[in-house]
Each structure stands twice: as structure tokens, then as C-alpha cells.
Structure 1
Amino acid sequence: MSCRTSIPASALALLLASAAPVLAQEPGPPAAAPALAQPMVEFQADTLSYDENLDVITAEGNVLVSRDSQQLTADKVVYNRKTGTVSAHGNVRAVDGDGVTAVADGFELTESLRDGLVDNVLLILADGSRLAAKDGKRENGLSTLNRAVYSPCAVVDDAGCPREPVWQLKAVKVVHDPARGRVFYTGARLEMFGVPVVALPRLSHPDGFDRNQSGLLSPDVRFTRELGGELRIPYYWSIAPNKDFTATTHVYTNVVPMVEAQYRQLFAGGPIQIGVMGTYAKGAAEDPLTGNIIDTHARLRGAIDARGQIEHGDGWRSSFSSRLTNDDNFLGRYQISLDNRLRSTYALERFETGRYFSVSGWAFQNLTSGANDARMPFALPLVDFRWRLPDKILGGGVMLQANSLGLYRREGQSMVRALASAQWDRSFLTPLGQRVTFTGLVRGDVYNANDTALADDPFYAGRDGWKARLIPLAAIDVEWPFAGPFLGGTQTLSPRLQFVGSTSTANEGIPNEDSRAVDLEDSNLFSLNRFPGYDRWEGGARVTYGVDWRWTKPGIAVQAQVGQSYRLDDNMDLFPEGTGLSGRVSDVVGRASVRIGRYVELTQRLRLDKDNLAVRRNEADVAIGSRRTFLSIGYLRYNRNIALEDLPDHEEVRAGARVAFGKYWAVFGSTVVDLTSTGEDSLTTNDGWQPIRARLGVSYTDECFDFGVTWKRNYIDNPNARQGNTILFTLALRNLG
């Protein structure tokens, strides 16, 4: 909360600082009147008088005192030279340079310009919050308000009629200590909708001038089936303006407590963040004989989550991310993360105009029950260099690339790889409007593989020892767009034809580590190599054809694409069955989308079987509404009959919605349902309808108050995420947390 109680005193200081020197310069006062060294002050008043007997200067009528961005207005300002006091009366209003306004019946200051009194004061802070008090004073640098009320909530409704604030904080006394940067409350109580809710005999918070103040943050309360009730109590320590530390205690009713710590620092080159969490407790594991979840012995269990990015200058940048745990079930059991694989990486990069260089390393930790970490790979180093030559060659641009990888397993296939390539592209328009692109590429690779007999799947295994390959490629791509008016808008029809020719024996004996997730879709139909990564190359000769159609008019955009490829050589077993690319003719892929204004968007992606047009891949997404009220539905089905275990068929539906009602209320929910059956995936235990997770909640949000109740259910039961319900309560008072 940014309650700045020093403003009344600073406003009074403004009055003295403004009035005393300026009035002293008016004709009439004796020359002995002290003048204080202050910035330039502008002073206005309807009348000005001086009583020589009482030694009093009086300014009346629309009195305005201004200095820089500060202003003071009043009906009357009186300066008593004998008592050394300056007072302002009637409609007193002071505005400081931070946009804080003070309104009071009257101000009175001592001649020291630092101490003073104020009656019936109202502070309107820069963010619209209000702090009112019966009276107040400033003495020895401390500002004290008596019988004060604070609230950031609106005090009038939309019609301009007075209303009770949603919540307010009342206190017998409020003290602002600028030296400590905090506001202290004595005898405070919190009221909501005019009803006292909780008494707070002692309360303090940062004053808002320096938001990096140490102290307790807002607690968090939630309920889950496994953990029971949970209370999170975070403490924030502001070490310096560029670094802080947060320690959080997690107290549960069903399990032992957990502690969490996070350190953040902003260097000149960028930020870093290091988080650790841990507990001393029993773990959970799956009994290999019965499959039941059992508790293990108590020990220290925890995890580390660190990340950062540092700019070194001259185009160099480092980035890192590390997630580690000493217990495979810790993150899931304490509902920190449901990930079953953790990744740690470091990368050093350099960016130049037309050039890019990076060297990185990767390591993984498998949290799946029964997994053998010795078979998890780590990559060191992974080097990538790309350079687009500034000058054209034969009218085309040239891209040079080099890449190397060392990938190792303690148990399993390991390899090192190095490659270099040069690609030339030239595009031009024909007199008939066709866009023609010629491409030439040559690439050389060197591999060295070990323990290939221990590969996790023989389909991905290479041959032990050194292996080299040379890959030449030539391609021509022709697009011919036609445009014209249609149904009050503009349509564009663009047929496309591509021919690609390359060596057809490039993959023999090469291990496959980064080209496994292959699947034909609209995004890679016209790629020179439909395999992802580098380890597999799509050789041979093929022709790819398709058409792109677009229609637009104000507020509406429709787009559709469809295409297919035909293999000209006899290399029919290059791709696994079910990927859509096996055989001479590929499956048909397409994509369609409709966008209506900002509120309706529909997207459909399909892959149809080349023989019978059966749907092999179907992705549909519908989004309707605005940020306040919306509905989104997604459907996904892979029906590829693929034999590889790491590319199984899958079917699911996702739905989410939010409905706002009234001015401040909303209900929301989401769900994910697995529709995969044993006919689609022989390894699944689903019957074709298995909810994965669901969420339902209600929220209230106005200008100063947030409240919500959310129910979550997890239907999965494994060591990382046991099924059960979670109830989450959120309560936030603006400026209080």
C-alpha cells in the first residue's frame, strides 16, 4: 500500500516556504523580516494587508502559492511574525510534485517550516487512494494522523452518488516515518462493506515512496486432498535496489512443512533468479510388484530452479536455466510442478548483422517412475554458426552454416556430429506474375557413434564408428497468385508447385537423435527436408503441389491451404508408416481459418489418408469472445496407426470459458479429457473417456478488491500427481496485498 502520510506536512512546508519569503518582499513589513532561500515562488491573492501593531501579514481571496510543480490554494493565509506561525484557512488545497493532493479545513506551521498542525485533512494519493484524518501534526520529521481512515476504493458510484467503500482501514493513530520509509498503524481495524472484519492492533507497511521495502507479503491459503490445508507465508527482504530475497514457509495439515527461498538480482547486463525449496519428509514411490503408491523413508528432499540472462556487450549474451531435484516425486507431491522431465541448459550466443553464433549444453533428468537416468542424454557442446553473405552470388543470397553436437549417455547410444552447409536462393518474378525461386544446397556431415546396440529403439540406431555423407540438393519453387474482387471483398488464389532433388542414400548408418518427431503437416509440406533436426535427410526426388486461397474484407479474413507431394524415385521406406510421408504419394494436408473481427477465430488442420481420405490427423480450435467473456474449444486426434512407441496416437478435447456478469463478477472453468482408446494406443488404460484435469471458479474484481474461489481436480494417480481436489481461495486488497 502506498499510503504517504508525509504529504500533509510537506504541503504545510510548501505553504511556509512559499509564503514567508514572498510576503517578506511585499512593501510594508520591516526590513528585519527573515527571508529564506527558496526556489522561485509565484504568489497570487485578491488582497494583501499588514498589521504593524500585531506584526501580521494577511493574504485573502483566491490565494495561490506555487513553486515548481507544487501548488497551495486557500481562501486566507496569515503570517504572524511575532509567534512565528503561518496558517491557511478555508478550502485549503495543496498539490505536491508526486501528484498527491491534500485538502483540509486549515493548516498551521511553525516558523521552522518543518513542524505543524492540520485539521480535518484528506489526502488524495497519486493512484486515487484516499487517507482522511480528524487532525494531524508533524514533529521532528514524524507525521502523525489521529482517527484516520484509508481506502483505495471509489466513494461514489457511476451516477456520482456517495457510496460506502468496499473496504477501508480505520486506525486510532497513523505515524509516517520517512527515515524508515514505513507507515505504522495503532488500533487499526479492517472494514468491508461497512462491517468490521478483523482487528489489527499493530500494522505497518511501506509508505509507497520506496516500493522495495522489506516485510511480510500477503499470505496464500489453499486446500488439496493430498496436502490438506496449506498456508503460505512469504517474507520479502529488499537487499538493494537491484537485488532481493524472498523466503516462504509452507505449512500443511497433512504433510510436513516446506521452506522455499528465492534470490533475484539485476546486473548491468541482465537478471538472474535462483530458487531452492526443500523439506525433510517421507517420499512416495510405486511398488514394482503391486503398482500401489507407498511411502519411503524420511530424508531431505528438495529442488533447485535457477535461470538468468546476461548481456556481455559487443553482441555477446549468456543465458542459463537449471531445474534439478534429488527426489523424483518431490515436485509433484507438493504440487509445485507436474513435469516428468527436467531440463538444464547453458548457452553463449553472439548476434551480428547477418551472423549468429552459439555454443550450448543440455542435460535432462527423468522423473518417470522406474526410469533409468543413466540412459538420459546430455549434450555438450552444441555449436551452431550461421552467416548470410552480404553480397549476392549469381543474383542470389547465400547462407553458410556449421553445426556440431556431442551427445552422450552413461548407458546407451552416444555420438558426436559435425556438419557444414551452403545454401543459395534466388527469387524473381516472371512477366506473367509467377514468383520463381531457385535453390541450391550442399552439405557435408561427419558422425562418430558408439554403443549403437544399446539404442532405445533399433529404428533410431546407427552403426558404431565413423560415418560421413555428402548431401547435394537442387530445388525450384513456383507460385502463381491470382487476385480479384469476390463477395464484396478481395480474394487471392495461389497455386504452388515445387520440385526437389537430392541424394537418396544419405541416412545409412547414421544414428537418429534429433529427427524422430516427424509428421506431415501444412507447416512443413514445402520444406526442403521434412525431417526435423539434422540426423535424417529426405533424399530422392519429389514434386509437391498445393494451393493457397485467401479472402478478406473489412472485419473478416478467411484462409485455406491444401497440398500433397509425389515421390519420383523408389525410396519408399524413408519415413515410418503413419507419418503421412511413406510410399510414393503422401497424405493430403490442409489448413483453414476464419477470423471475424476481434471476437471469433476458428482454425482447422487436417491430414487425410492418401488412399481412402480417412482423417489421420485432426486439430480444431474455436475461440469466441473478448477478454471478459469468452469460450475456447480445442480438439486433437492422431489416427496414424504408427508403430513407433514414442509417437503414439492420441485423442483429446480441451475446453475453457469465462462469463462476466454484473460489473465485477465472473465465472470460469476449463477441462481436458483424454479420448484415446486401446484401439488407438495399445498401451493406454483408458476406455475412450478419461478426464485429465478440470477447473471451475468464481471471481470478483473491482477497483480495489479481488476475491476468488477456484476448484481444481486432478484425475491422474501416479507418484508425481495423485488424483484429488484442490480448493484455492484468493483475496487481494489493493495496496495491502
Structure 2
Amino acid sequence: MAQDIIDQTRETVQTIDAPEPVDFAADQLSYDADTKTVTATGEVVVVRGGYRLTADEVTYRRDDGVVTATGNVVVIDPGGNEINANEVALTDELKDGAIDGFLLVLQDGGRLAASTGARKDGISSLNRAIYSPCDVVDSNGCPKEPLWQLKADQVSHDPEAGKIRYKDARFEFFGVPVLWLPSLSHADNVEARASGLLIPDLRVDRSTGVSVTQPYFIDLAPNRDLVVSPTLYTEVNPSLGLEYRHLTSKGPFKFGGQVTVSGVQENRVGSPSLTTTEDELRFYLYGNGSFQHDEHWRSTFGIRATSDDTFLRRYDISRDTNLRNFYRLERQDTDSFLNIEGWAFQGLRATDDQGLIPIALPIVDFTYAPQDRLMGGRLTFDASGAAINRTDGMDSYRVSAGAEWQRRGFTALGQRITATALLRGDAYRTDDSDRAEFPIYAGRDGWQGRIIPAAALDIEWPLAGPAFGGTQMITPRVQFSASPTGLNDDIPNEDSRSVDLESTNLFDISRFPGHDRWEGGARVTYGASWSIRRPRILFEADIGQSYRLNDTPSILPKGTGLDENFSDFVGRNTLRIGRRFDLTHRYRLDKESLEIRRNEVDLTVGGRRDYLTVGYLRLNRNIGIEDLADREEARAGGRLQLARYWSIFGSVIIDLTGARDDPLSLSDGFEPVRHRLGITYEDECFEFGVTWKRDYVSDRDFERGSSFLFRVSLKNLGR
């Protein structure tokens, strides 16, 4: 015989005859043997199969398995969605039943309210329902009209599919109906993967006119999806964009692109000889991926290609002037590293000759560093090779192998000494050297070889102590290095062209980047660094110079700061204050006049919400060779939070090198390149932004001018 009354605090009773136990917890429990009804009152909790119900009173009829809850009813499903109601009548599994005064609080904060509703097989069917993720109370706790809401006579919520579906829906903004939709569905949380419309893009652009892009997301599987993005323009033909993403067991990859049919203006905008071709296929393709094949092997790739030089700019896809394609295969273990890669490039500038742009395939680098030490030092073996081909230019091939021994230690007085010895051999083959774009970089046809021995002794003396309420460190440094000269004769230069002396390479054995050029001779390099650390404050400064001990003429171009016995002075200063101020200054000073040859400043102030970045670069080297040409530019960007929901942002790039050959140039001393300015409103359920961009550079069928981007985002409606 069952007990008639069980009166105790938070006692748990289980229904032992149910297929899955139902757990009760309440202040009071009573059992009516005649009606076989369990009544729980006072902070009642019922749990079964991942569902949790709380209420002021719950009755459970064992004959038909109906659970009736009244008073402050809350039901939480396995997905974390929360139903609030005045009264519910559910099956004993807590999944199905009728609900009066329905309020569903979704896991992401959205709310779905209805006068009445029912649940069957976990799906809620609601009558006279309202959905909104917006706040319905103000900062003082007083009720307010949500910024936007969806109303419908019939709504269903499927938590397993993560979808909310409406029939005869009305969209209201500030309580005013603005749109009627016969049917509508959207995800019930921001992380749900459900096919449907994404947020549209609205742009106004000088080159393409007014454009509207409406992306559509297709959920193909939990690990792959497709986005289809058609775009309509007022000034040019429509385009279609696609992006496919796939997460495999080895890693992710994606492919995408945009395609249209339109004409190409072949000459510079404004030219009297401007002509437009007939409509033709124009496109942009891209892709990238990364795969971890096993614990040692991994590969990455990147693909970018376009049908013509100006498609990316005209359709506001990218401002890049060079597209890179590569594949890289790597193997790494405890003492070795192998890298095999290939590169191909597409030049988009009007002056680019695709036949002179190299294809690097393959490039191979191998490093072996055994754990065992030799004479107290670490021995590293290196081997590498590269094949550089052009369809209408010089071809070159290189194979290199060498070893480096390095030992570090401290003296009794605290000096840190590093000894380095290097031996490397290179073999080159050059074909069609007379077709090199720059004769100074050409080698001599046929096979050439060289052996490079080098040695260096580096001495540093860190001195630390208290100063200015913190800790300072002064580290003088001197390096002696030596290697033969005249090792570059008849050798092509493919990877050592962009040479420049700066603080990061001052103490390198060879200041040339890459393999193809070697800075020989005997020299002494000297400098010092100073730093001071205080709570939340760090200041660091480096300065140095080198002196070449031999009188052999330098192969480095005049203006690099390395062409004479004494080099220019190079240095770097860094100031950090907390996490909201970071200033870095890099410079090179002429060794005789102390004129600034390189001046680079980067400043960042602020955090994630409010920040300002400022950059300035001036190269005054008078070299004028390809990557070594002088230039001067300033750039700035920032974001400012005006109010709780409002912020402004912007950026600008200005070319200070000198006015371009353009009648619309603003002055003889500078020319803006592009700028961006925007304002954004963003609250818990709504985002609106307007961005104004302007380009000051024309390029064939891409016209200089302004463009405007409008963005509207409703939480959970699109992405």
C-alpha cells in the first residue's frame, strides 16, 4: 500500500514502473491511492530524459501518464531552450502536451511568446505568437516595445532541427508593420546550421552603380556547406558568387569565386583612345586549405586567379596587384624539417608582363639538427634547391648544401658569447640570361658554382639593475665576422633583391635575404640595447653600426647603407604602456650627414572598442631599383564608441612620395590612395552600418570615385 502523505523537504521519489525514471523533488508530496495521483507542491522539480520542469505545483496521474504543472512553470529541453508558462499539461516524458500562456526563452536569448500552444514529438505549435531577440525591458526594469519583432497566427519550433517556422508573418519595426511574409523560417540560435537567406549587401559604387547581393546558405551536411550569392547591378551585368566549405577528417578547405559577363575597357579611363571590348566571361577563383596527414606530414595550399587585370578592383573584391598560388608539403619531427613547395603568380598592374613573372617549382628546404652536440655546440645540416622558370625570360636553377656549427656560453663575468662556423656549397644553372628583365640580376648562362666558408664571434654583456623605479638592462654587443669576397660573380639573383639594412639584420653574417647573394669580407659590427621595465611600462631602444675591414668594393647598391666601409646607423625604439599604448619607431641614419634614410613609425592606442592606429613610412635611399625604390606614405585608422550602441570608424592611406601624373592630383606633394569612413549602430538584436569608401587611383576600366556600403543585420534572421 502506497503512502497517503509524504511531508518532508526536497525528498526524491522515483516512479519505478516507468521505462525511464521520473525524479520528483518538492517541499511537499502527497499520493491519492484512489485516483493514483501524485501531487507535489512548493518549488517542485521534475526531471526525465534530459527534460527539466519546475513549478509551484505539479500533479502526476499514473493511469494516463499526464503531468500537469501550474504556477511559474519552467520547462528546459535538452538543447537548453526554456519554456515559461502559466499552465502546462505534458506526457510523463515531458516532451508533449498542451501549454497555456507560452513563453520560450531560446538558448541564445531570443524569446517566442504565444497565447496557447502544444508540443508533440518535441515540436511546439503556437497560436498568436510573437518572436523577438530584443530586450523587452529598459535599464530601469520597465517594459518597453522591442525594436523589432515577428508576429504570426501560427508558429512552430523544432529544437532538433534548430528551426522556427511562421505562417502569415508580419515584421514590425518600432511597433509599426513594415513587411508581410506568407511564410518564413530561421534558425533558433546563431550557431545553428540551417539553409536559408543570409544578410543582403547593398552598395552604391562609381564603377558598377547600385548593387544588391543576396547570399543563400545551403547546409549540405554537418561538415560542409555552400553559399550562393547572386548580385544585381544598375551599370553592369549581374554576377554570381559561390563558396564551398568542407571540413574533412584531415583538415578544412574551401573554394569559391565570382563570375559575370561584361566588356573590358582596354585603356586608362579618360584616355581619348578608350575602347570597350565585347562582352566576355570575367571571373575570380580562390581556394585554400590545410591538411594534417599524420603526426609528421602536413600540407597547405592557396589558389587565386582572375580572368583579367581589373576585375577584382572594378567589382570591389580586392585591391591586390599580385595574386599568389602555392602548394606546400611539410614534414617535421624532433630533429629534422622538410619543406617542399611551388609558387605561381599573376600580375595585375598595367606594366606587368606575365611572361617575365617567375614560376617557382619546386622549392625544397631540408634541415637536420641532431640532438648530439659536437665540441659543446649544436651542428645543423641544411640542403635546399629551387627551379625558377619564365615563359618569356631568364630561367635559373639552384642546389645548395651546407652545415652550421654554433655554440653559446657565458664567461665568469657574465658575457654571453656565441661562436658560429658555416660552410655552404651552391651550384647554379642559368638559361637565357640575356632575356633577364633587370640585367644587374642576370647570371651567366651555363653552370656556376661556389663554396662559402664563414665564421663569426658574437659577444654580448647584459648589465641589469634598478633605475627610475623599475629595472633597467644595458647590453653592449660586438660581433666579428669573416668570409671570402667575390662569391657572386656570374650568379643570378632571384631571391636577394630587396636588401635593406635595419636593426633586425644588422648582426646577420650576410645582410642579403635569400641564397643568391652573399655579403663577403671581414667586418666588425657593434651596438647596444637599453630597456627599462616598470609596472605597466616598457621602453626598449637598439642602435648599431658595422665597419668593413677590407677595401674590396661592395656589391651592395649605393643607398642601401652598406656600400661603404662604415655602414649607416640603424635602430629601433619601442614604448608600451599597459595594454592600450604601443609605439614602435624604426630608423636608419646616414653615417656622415645623419640624414634619415629610413623612418618608420607605428602607433596603436586603445583597446577593442576604441582604438587609433597611425603609421608613417619614408624611404629616402636614392636607389631606384625595383623593390628598392623610394617611397613615403602615411596611414591611419580607428574606431570610436560614441554611445552605448553607436560607433564610428575609418581609415586612410596617403601617398606622400609625390603627385602622380594625373590632372586630378590634389597637390604636388601628396596624393590620397583610398579612405574609408563609416558609422555603426549595434545593440543586442539589431545592427545597421553605412560605410563610405573612396579610391583615388584609376586603372583601365576601374574608375576612381566613391562607393557606399549599407549593412542591416537582424539577429537570427540570416547571418
Change (3 A) 1:140 1:73: closer
Q: Does 1:432 align with 2:413?
A: yes
Tell me which residue corresponds to 2:78: 97
The residue number in structure 2 matching 1:669 is: 650
1:570: Cα distance to partner? Answer: 1.4
Contact 1:711 1:725 in 2 (8 A): yes
The answer on whether the counterparts of 1:589 and 1:607 sit within 8 Å (CA) in structure 2 is yes
Kept in 2, the 8 Å contact 1:642–1:649? The answer is yes
Deviation at 1:444, TM superposition (A): 0.3
Contact 1:671 1:693 in 2 (8 A): yes
Aligned to 1:502: 483
Equivalent in the alignment of 2:553: 572
- Alignment root-mean-square deviation, CA: 2.5
Is contact 1:286-1:369 (8 Å) kept? no
Map Cα deviations across residues 431-476 of structure 1 (whole Å, 9 max, x no partner): 1111111110000000000111111111111111110000000100
Q: Is the 2:114–2:129 contact (alpha carbons within 8 Å) kept by the matching residues of 1?
A: yes
Give the counterpart of 1:223 among 192, 204, 227: 204
More displaced 10-residue stretch of structure 1: 392-401 or 286-295: 286-295
| 1:39 partnered with 2:21 | yes
**2:115 partner letter:** K
Instruction: Specify whether residues 179 and 211 from structure 1 end up closer, same or farther in structure 2 by C-alpha distance, changes over 3 A only.
Output: closer
Paired residues of 2:57 and 2:69 also in contact (CA < 8 A): yes
Residue of structure 2 aligned with 1:298, choices 263, 279, 286: 279
1:711 aligned partner, one-letter code: W
Equivalent in 303, 311, 331 of residue 330 of structure 1:
311
Are the equivalent residues in 1 in contact too, given 2:24–2:44 (CA < 8 A)? no
Q: Return 370-379 or 446-455, whichever deviates more.
A: 370-379
Alpha carbons of structure 1 residues 664 and 227: separation in structure 2 relative to 1, 3 Å:
same
* Distance change (3 Å), C-alpha of 1:668 and 1:210: closer
* SS of 1:313 mapped into structure 2: coil
Matched, 1:539 2:489: no
Residue 185 of structure 1 is matched in structure 2 by: 166
Aligned residue pairs: how many?
A: 704
Match of 1:12? none
Compute the displacement of 1:661 (Å).
Answer: 1.8
Q: Is the 8 A contact 1:285 1:369 kept in 2?
A: no
Of 297, 320, 328, which residue of structure 1 is paired with 2:301? 320
Residue in 1 aligned with 2:435? 454
Return the alpha-carbon distance in structure 2 between the equivalents of residues 289 and 700 of structure 1: 39
Partner amino acid for 2:28? D
Task: Please state how far the C-alpha of 1:55 moved relative to its aligned partner.
Answer: 6.0
In the TM superposition, residue 592 of structure 1 has moved relative to its aligned partner by 0.7
Structure 1 equivalent of residue 373 of structure 2: 392
> Residues 676 and 687 of structure 1 are in contact (CA less than 8 Å); yes or no, is this contact kept in structure 2?
no
User: 1:88 corresponds to which letter in structure 2?
Assistant: A
Local SS of the residue matching 1:296: coil
The 1:203–1:585 alpha-carbon spacing in structure 2 relative to 1, beyond 3 Å, is same
Decide whether the 8 Å contact of 1:95 with 1:102 is kept in 2.
yes
Distance in 2 between residues matched to 1:233 and 1:527, nearest whole Å: 53
Answer yes or no: is 1:611 the counterpart of 2:592: yes
Q: Secondary structure at the match of 1:449?
A: strand
Letter paired with 1:98:
G
What is the distance in 2 between the residues matched to 1:686 and 1:469?
A: 52
Q: Residues 370 and 547 (structure 1 numbering): CA distance in 2 closer, same or farther, change over 3 Å?
A: closer
Q: Which residue, out of 32, 40, 50, partners 1:50? A: 32
Cα distance in 1 for partners of 2:64, 2:269 equals: 90
Deviations 1:298-353 (A, max 9, x none): 11111211111111114111211111122222222211112121111111110111
Counterpart Cα distance in 2 of 1:679 and 1:521: 29
- Residue 623 (structure 2) aligns with: 642
Alignment of 1:25-36 (within 5 A): 35-36=17-18
Residue of structure 1 equivalent to 2:41: 60
SS of 1:374's equivalent in the other structure is helix
Against the structure 1 CA distance between its residues 561 and 179, is the aligned structure 2 distance closer, same or farther, given a 3 Å change threshold? closer
Post-superposition offset of 1:39: 3.5
CA contact (8 A) 1:338 1:720 kept: no
State the match for 1:729 in structure 2: 710
From 461, 465, 472, the equivalent of 2:453 is 472
Q: Aligned pair in 2 of structure 1 residues 464, 249: CA closer, same or farther (>3 Å)? A: same
Matched, 1:108 2:89: yes
Instruction: Describe the shift of the 1:378–1:292 C-alpha distance in structure 2 as closer, same or farther (beyond 3 A).
Output: same
Partner of 2:562, secondary structure, is: coil
1:283: which partner in 2? Answer: 264
Q: Which residue of 1 aligns with 2:468?
A: 487
Q: 1:416 aligns with which of 380, 397, 405?
A: 397
Equivalent-residue separation in structure 2 for 1:253 and 1:363 (angstroms):
36
Alignment of 1:41-440 (within 5 A): 41-50=23-32, 52=34, 56-67=37-48, 70-79=51-60, 85-109=66-90, 115-139=96-120, 142-177=123-158, 182-208=163-189, 211-286=192-267, 290=271, 293-440=274-421
**Alpha-carbon distance in 2 for matches of 1:345, 1:98:** 43
For each residue in 1:112-139, what CA deviation from the matched residue of structure 2 results, as whole angstroms up to 9, or x when unmatched? 9764211111112222222111110134
TM-aligned CA distance change 1:431 to 1:219, over 3 Å: same
The match for 2:495 is 514
In the alignment, is the contact (CA less than 8 A) between 2:313 and 2:702 conserved in 1? yes
The structural deviation recorded for 1:542 is: 0.8
Scaled by the length of structure 2, the TM-score of the pair is: 0.93
Q: Distance in 2 between matches of 1:494 and 1:156?
A: 61
- CA 1:722/1:39 → structure 2, altered by over 3 Å: closer, same or farther? farther
Give secondary structure in 2 for the equivalent of 1:332: helix
Please say if residues 22 and 46 of structure 2, whose CA atoms lie closer than 8 Å, have aligned partners that are also in contact. no
Q: State the 1:646 CA deviation.
A: 3.5
Contact persistence 1:23–1:57 (CA under 8 A): no
Q: Is the 8 A contact 2:264 2:701 kept in 1?
A: no
Cα deviation 1:571-611 (Å, max 9, x = unaligned): 23320011111111111111111111112121111111111
* Partner Cα separation in structure 1 for residue 160 and residue 643 of structure 2: 45
Residues 439 and 85 of structure 1: CA distance in aligned 2, closer, same or farther (over 3 Å): closer
- Specify whether residues 47 and 444 from structure 1 end up closer, same or farther in structure 2 by C-alpha distance, changes over 3 A only: closer
Task: Compute the displacement of 1:355 (Å).
Answer: 1.1
Paired amino acid for 1:224: D
Report the Cα offset of residue 196 of structure 1: 3.0
After TM superposition, the structure 1 stretch with the greater mean CA deviation from structure 2, 314-323 or 184-193, is 184-193
Q: Deviation at 1:22?
A: 6.3
Distance in 2 (alpha carbons) for counterparts of 1:656 and 1:675 = 17
Q: After superposition, where does 1:646-725 map in structure 2 within 5 Å?
A: 646-677=627-658, 687-719=668-700, 721-725=702-706
Q: Would you say the 8 A contact 1:42–1:67 is kept in 2?
A: no
What SS does the corresponding residue of 2:215 show, helix, strand or coil?
strand
* Contact 1:332–1:719 (CA under 8 A) maintained in structure 2: no
Closer, same or farther: CA 293–581 of 1 in aligned 2, 3 Å: farther
Sequence identity of aligned pairs in percent? 47
Query: In 2, are the aligned partners of 1:287 and 1:294 still within 8 Å (CA)?
Result: no
Following the alignment from structure 1 to structure 2, what is the Cα–Cα distance between the partners of residues 720 and 420?
49
Partner of 1:30: none
Aligned equivalents of 1:150, 1:403: Cα separation in 2: 63
2:107 counterpart SS class: coil
In structure 2, relative to structure 1, the CA distance for the partners of 1:36 and 1:282 (3 Å cut) is same
Inter-partner Cα distance in structure 1 for 2:682 and 2:666: 42
2:580 corresponds to which residue?
599
Kept in 1: contact 2:269–2:700 (CA 8 A): no
SS of the residue aligned with 2:312? helix
Instruction: Describe the superposition over 1:354-391 as per-residue Cα deviations: whole angstroms up to 9, x where unpaired.
Output: 21101111111112225321111101111100111211
Contact 1:181 1:210 in 2 (8 A): no
User: Secondary structure at the residue paired with 1:231?
Assistant: strand
Q: Given that residues 162 and 192 in structure 2 are in contact (C-alpha distance below 8 angstroms), is that contact kept between their aligned partners in structure 1?
A: no
- Give SS of 1:284's match: coil
Alignment deviations for residues 643-664 of structure 1 (CA, whole Å, 9 cap, x no partner): 3144210011111122112211
CA contact (8 A) 1:520 1:530 kept: yes
